[in-house]
Amino acid sequence: MNRYVEDVIAYVKDKYKDQPEFVQTVEEVYTSIAPVIDAHPEFERADLLKRMVEPERMFRFRVVWTDDEGKTQTNVGYRCQFNGAIGPYKGGLRFRNNVNESVIKFLGFEQTFKNALTGQPIGGAKGGSDFDPAGKSDLEIMRFCQSFMTALYRYIGPDTDVPAGDIGVGSREIGFLYGQYRRLKGVFENGVLTGKGLSYGGSLIRPEATGYGAVYYLQEVLKHEGDNIVGKKIAVSGYGNVSWGIMKKAAQLGAKVTYMSGSAGYIHDPDGIGTEEKLQFILDLREKNSKDLKSYADKFGCEFYPKQKFWGVDDVDIYMPAATQNEVDLEDAKKIVASGVKYYLEVSNMPTSNEAMAYLKEHGVIVAPSKAVNAGGVGVSALEMSQNAEMMVWTAQEVDDLLKRMMKEIYEKSVDAADRYGLGYDLVSGANIAGFEKVAQAMMEQGVF
């Protein structure tokens, strides 16, 4: 491999050894883009790779709030403005108890290349808190969001940094966050957040966009194999907003999601999780922050497998991990290869360990990376920003058409980038290269800093 790439990976491994998720993503992306560095010695002279692993700035702040018993609670908040070379910082906020500096930095680094891939003018950012919304009342969540925004509002804005949702942050949280921003600034600047409710500037299709986009991307992958989505069975991990979008679009297109998992186990529904009633049930589970997937099995008469993961089941055509980071390790990858399932499309950010990904690729599984597959979410967030800036409201059809086109272009850009560097049909390296090239060019043209 390229010596400069090796040196920078070794430097990051040493300097950030206490940030394993961050090291993992840097190693993954930089290994992929090594052929670009070979072809561009000027990138080493400009020390581009070391510059890119340092966030432009990162905030860490105290978030204090009062629970329903009147007790004071303290959490940590973060916002990492990773790379603003191609547009205002953009990326979600994650509220979950396992959030720390490493998790926020890995998500911000990924976001930088993903956002570049969308073709929209958005830089990379991520933020969040170790606050866990599970089991909290609406009022507790409101007080937390208000305190979080009070600490954050001076660092964000429609042309500066535009947060959105992620795990634990949905339209309810975005509503509370926006309300507090508006109160503090005294202006109606709704372009400061995306994923808003429709009554104050949200975009149609934004709630569905990540899942729908993933299925549109899947259609491109199937087309390449001379195949199509009708009749396909899909195993999806997670049952959040993204999984819900996949289930809905898959059902519309004649495919079905037959497996769904949560942290307590998984369910197998051979009929597919596709009816209005079933989809609404999933939304309600999420709304209540419920971890009780068994209630789905009880209601719809199917099997629940407690404390197990479904990797390795062989009665599906496609695996789509869509829950969180590091869901699939080498052992799981071995089970997937042994199952004979041909397609593995990452949807959540970095669900696969680097060893697992290498194993899947080596054994002929057709793999696609999350930074391409889930990019429709942030892509439609950028469309929401456009609508807010223009004071316009686009129809669902208009947004959906743009999303479809965006996913097709992301797929094609990835295929083309891998091809240009002689890597063959490699959607993972292709996505990394295409995203990297755009950010690199913008940084090179903007001078040394």
Q: Is 108 in the site for ligand 2IT (CB under 6 A)?
A: no
Which CB sits closer to ligand 2IT, 82 or 421? Answer: 82
Min dist. Cβ of residue 38 to ligand 2IT (A): 30
Q: Tokens standing for 176?
A: 């509370």
Helix axis angle, 138-152 relative to 171-185, nearest 10°?
Answer: 50
- Residue range at the interface with ligand 2IT (CB under 6 A); choices 39-47, 87-95, 319-327, 335-343: 87-95
- Considering only the stretches 7-15, 85-93, 262-270, 298-306, report the one whose residues sit in contact with ligand 2IT under the rule CB under 6 A: 85-93
State the minimum distance, in angstroms, from the CB of residue 378 to ligand 2IT: 4
Q: How far apart are CA 315 and CA 423, in angstroms?
A: 31
Q: Which of 28, 96, 81, 79 is nearest to 240 (CA)?
A: 96
Q: How far is CA 52 from the centre of its chain?
A: 20
Could you give the residue ranges of the DSSP H alpha helices within 153-273? 171-185, 206-224, 241-252
Q: State the Cα–Cα distance between residues 437 and 8, nearest whole angstrom.
A: 18
Residues 6+ apart with CB under 8 A from 255: 215, 229, 230, 231, 232, 233, 234
Residue 288: partners with Cβ closer than 8 Å, 6 or more residues away: none
- Is 91 a binding residue for ligand 2IT by CB under 6 A? The answer is yes
Using CA atoms, how far residue 412 sits from 86, 146, 298, 312, in Å, is: 21, 42, 43, 30
Q: Is 349 in the site for ligand 2IT (CB under 6 A)?
A: yes
Segment contacting ligand 2IT by CB under 6 A, of 12-20, 49-57, 271-279, 374-382: 374-382
Q: CB nearest ligand 2IT: which residue? A: 92
Q: Which of 182, 138, 192, 205 minimizes the C-alpha distance to 162?
A: 192
With respect to ligand 2IT, which residue has the nearer C-beta, 146 or 194?
Answer: 194
Token representation of residue 441: 């060019």
| Bridge partners, residue 123, by sequence | 89
Contact between 431 and ligand 2IT (CB under 6 A)?
A: no
Q: Looking at 117, 164, 204, 407, which residue binds ligand 2IT (CB under 6 A)?
A: 164
Annotation says 233 is catalytic? no
Q: How buried is 154 (Cβ within 10 angstroms: 0-12 exposed, 13-18 middle, 19+ buried)? A: exposed
| CB-count exposure of residue 27 (10 Å: 0-12, 13-18, 19+) | middle
Catalytic residue among 90, 105, 114, 126: 126
Question: Which residue's CB is nearer to ligand 2IT, number 37 or number 385?
Answer: 385
Helix H or strand E segment including 414? helix 396-420
168 vs 274, which CB is nearer to ligand 2IT? 168
- The answer to the question of residue 194 lying near ligand 2IT (CB under 6 A) is yes
Find the shortest distance in angstroms from Cβ 328 to ligand 2IT.
18
Say whether residue 129 binds ligand 2IT (CB under 6 A): no
**Cβ neighbour number for residue 234 with a 10 Å cutoff:** 25
Candidate ranges 146-154, 304-312, 372-380, 419-427; the one touching ligand 2IT (CB under 6 A): 372-380
Q: Tell me how far, at minimum, the Cβ of 25 lies from ligand 2IT, in Å.
A: 13
Task: Give yes or no for residue 166 binding ligand 2IT (CB under 6 A).
Answer: yes
> In angstroms, what is the minimal distance from the CB of 387 to ligand 2IT?
14
- For residues 7 and 49, the answer to whether their CB atoms sit within 8 Å is no
Interface residue with ligand 2IT among 55, 77, 92, 430 (CB under 6 A) is 92
Smallest gap from Cβ 272 to ligand 2IT, in A, equals 26
Give the residue with the Cβ less far from ligand 2IT, 238 or 377. Answer: 377
Closest contact distance (angstroms) between CB of 373 and ligand 2IT is 11
Task: Tell me the number of residues near ligand 2IT by CB under 6 A.
Answer: 12
Which spans in 129-204 are helix H?
Answer: 138-152, 171-185
Q: Which of 28/166 has CB closer to ligand 2IT?
A: 166
Q: Which residue has the tokens 């071995």?
A: 334
Q: Which of residues 375-414 bind ligand 2IT (CB under 6 A)?
A: 377-378, 381
Binding site for ligand 2IT (CB under 6 A): 90-92, 111, 164, 166, 194, 349, 374, 377-378, 381
Residues annotated catalytic, as ranges: 126
